[in-house]
Amino acid sequence: MTAVRESSDVVRLDVVEGVGTIRIDRPKMNALNQEVQDRIGAAAAEVSDRDDISAVVITGGPQVFAAGADIKEMAGLSYPEMVAHSARLHQAFTAVARIPKPVVAAINGYALGGGCELALCADVRIAADDAILGQPEIKLGVIPGAGGTQRLTRLVGPSRAKDIIFTGRFVQAAEALAIGLVDQVVPADDVYATAVVWARQFVGGPRLALQAAKECIDRGNEVDLDTALVMERQQFAALFATEDRTIGMRSFVELGPGKAHFVGR
């Protein structure tokens, strides 16, 4: 069964068999202007709320993921205007990062600047073998402003993040895989299909357990170990109040592992 809903012409949300695809479509480079940013945030909020969506793919299509912010739009902004603009940008990207479901970025072509930062908001990144990533903001006399200094550092480590951000250089797909910036590299024609396969494995899964696991990992990374372990213990115990926990454990005892049919409650 297929359901399609257009969020706007520049950002669409398509839902097919439990997988939601947030697709940026602003030719020719998918530059992230204010409208695109706002629509991404709105799409993230929608996929978070919808029970018919189990996992999410973020893509820019087969040619380019997103080549960064719309510099023409930003160039004329004053400091007070940029304060407001950057707050809305962070709000949109944070909404993506906090989608309480598995999220995969399907990266074709360029993922630069804000495009790379958007990909960093996903749980997993699958890239084309000819994809190019990077944070070239330094060449404009600024720094990454949508989470790049923080999410990139947490992903690849401080030294590698500094090298990429200080130089503004492009990172080819093979290097991105080697340093952990992406998780899988496939032929360009296979990127989206591979991402959908990854996302589809969570359809019919234990929704609340997946949400708890994601929150523990993401929020735990922001605090000290003792606090993170308390968070994990609380989330683990809380799942014993769910119907899926009862189903999963009963199925394991009666039928063996991996045969449970969860209901998402």
Residue positions annotated with a catalytic role: 117, 137
| Alpha carbons 58 and 22: distance in angstroms, whole number | 5
Structure tokens at 176: 């991105």
Contacts of 68 (CB under 8 A, 6+ apart): 29, 31, 32, 112, 113, 114, 115, 116, 136
Burial 43-55 (b: 16+ CB within 10 A, else e): bbebbbeeeebbb
Place of tokens 């018919």: 52
Q: Show contacts of 210-217: CB within 8 Å, 24+ apart.
A: 210/101, 210/102, 211/100, 211/101, 212/236, 212/238, 212/239, 214/100, 214/101, 214/102, 214/123, 215/100
Termini Cα distance of the chain? 22
